[in-house]
């Protein structure tokens, strides 16, 4: 499935649609997807039924878009870093910062994604998982480039998944205060990653 074909990029979303998605993500995160009716989303966002359905097709479409848009943000930021021409260490630090920034701005979306992914129909669930794979593959290519350049030790797929798990789990516990704190947490994670992978 080409997820990009059915999920617009953040930049292409109208302000109204983006606002509806943010309101819905918060409601779904607070109350659970199953307990929130589409009219409740409309009320909270200040849209009547007609206007709401102009922006979204269905509640399941809304759920799917909430789960995919932040992943597409992560992938786009990571692709730019991958091809930035920076050193391996700088790319890992930049990936770490970009993850933390997007994660911190997308905590309701991530909560919804991790809690409700089973509520999606199979094709869409696979679509969400394929975005996660795509993101992981970018990190993997940076690690492999580090190995080729004899900067990093060779890493197994288990090790790469473990490191990325450290990042993804953070949405559950990080309660930072402001951009400087988020940047410093990104530094800490990059430091752990580099210490565990840089050749001695």
Tell whether residue 175 is a contact of a second copy (CB under 8 A). Answer: no
Cα distance between residue 58 and residue 24, in whole Å:
12
Closest by CA position to 36, among listed 105, 112, 94: 112
Contact 116, 63 (CB under 8 A): yes
- Toward a second copy, which CB reaches closer, 17 or 186? 186
Q: Using CB atoms within 10 Å of the CB of residue 73, give its burial: 0 to 12 exposed, 13 to 18 middle, 19+ buried.
A: buried
Backbone angles phi, psi at 152, to 5 degrees: -110, 155
Strand-pair partners of 152: 198
Q: Which stretch binds a second copy (CB under 8 A): 45-53, 58-66, 102-110, 115-123?
A: 115-123
**Within 140-159, which residues bind a second copy (CB under 8 A)?**
156, 158-159
Cα distance between residue 8 and residue 68, in whole Å:
9
Q: How far is the CB of 47 from a second copy (least distance, A)?
A: 26
Q: How far is the CB of 56 from a second copy (least distance, A)?
A: 23
Tell whether residue 169 is a contact of a second copy (CB under 8 A). Answer: yes
Tell whether residue 200 is a contact of a second copy (CB under 8 A). Answer: yes
Cα distance between residue 63 and residue 53, in whole Å:
14
Q: Which stretch binds a second copy (CB under 8 A): 64-72, 101-109, 141-149, 183-191?
A: 183-191
Q: How far is the CB of 49 from a second copy (least distance, A)?
A: 25
Q: Which stretch binds a second copy (CB under 8 A): 39-47, 54-62, 76-84, 185-193?
A: 185-193
- DSSP annotation of 52 reads H
- DSSP annotation of 170 reads G
Contact 122, 130 (CB under 8 A): no
Site string for a second copy, 68-107 (x = CB under 8 A): ----------------------------------------
Tell whether residue 34 is a contact of a second copy (CB under 8 A). Answer: yes
Chain contacts with a second copy (rule: CB under 8 A): 32, 34-35, 114-115, 118-119, 156, 158-159, 161-163, 165-166, 168-170, 172-173, 185, 188-189, 191-193, 195-197, 200
């Amino acid at each position: 499935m080409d997820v990009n074909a059915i999920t617009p990029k953040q930049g292409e979303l109208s302000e109204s649609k983006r606002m509806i998605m943010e309101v819905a993500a918060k409601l779904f995160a607070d109350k659970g997807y199953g307990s929130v009716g589409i009219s409740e989303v409309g009320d909270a966002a200040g849209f009547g039924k007609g206007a709401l359905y102009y922006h979204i097709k269905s509640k399941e479409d809304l759920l799917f878009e909430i789960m995919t848009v932040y992943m597409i943000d992560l992938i786009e930021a990571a692709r730019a870093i991958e091809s930035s021409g920076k050193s391996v260490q700088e790319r890992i630090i930049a990936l770490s910062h970009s993850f933390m920034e997007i994660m911190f701005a997308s905590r309701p979306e991530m909560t919804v994604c991790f809690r409700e992914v089973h509520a999606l129909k199979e094709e869409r669930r696979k679509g969400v998982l394929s975005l996660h794979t795509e993101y992981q593959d970018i990190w993997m290519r940076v690690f492999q480039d580090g190995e080729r350049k004899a900067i990093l030790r060779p890493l197994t797929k288990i090790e790469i998944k473990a490191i990325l798990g450290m990042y993804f789990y953070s949405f559950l516990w990080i309660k930072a205060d402001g951009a400087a704190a988020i940047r410093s947490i990104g530094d800490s994670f990059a430091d752990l990653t580099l210490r565990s992978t840089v050749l001695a």
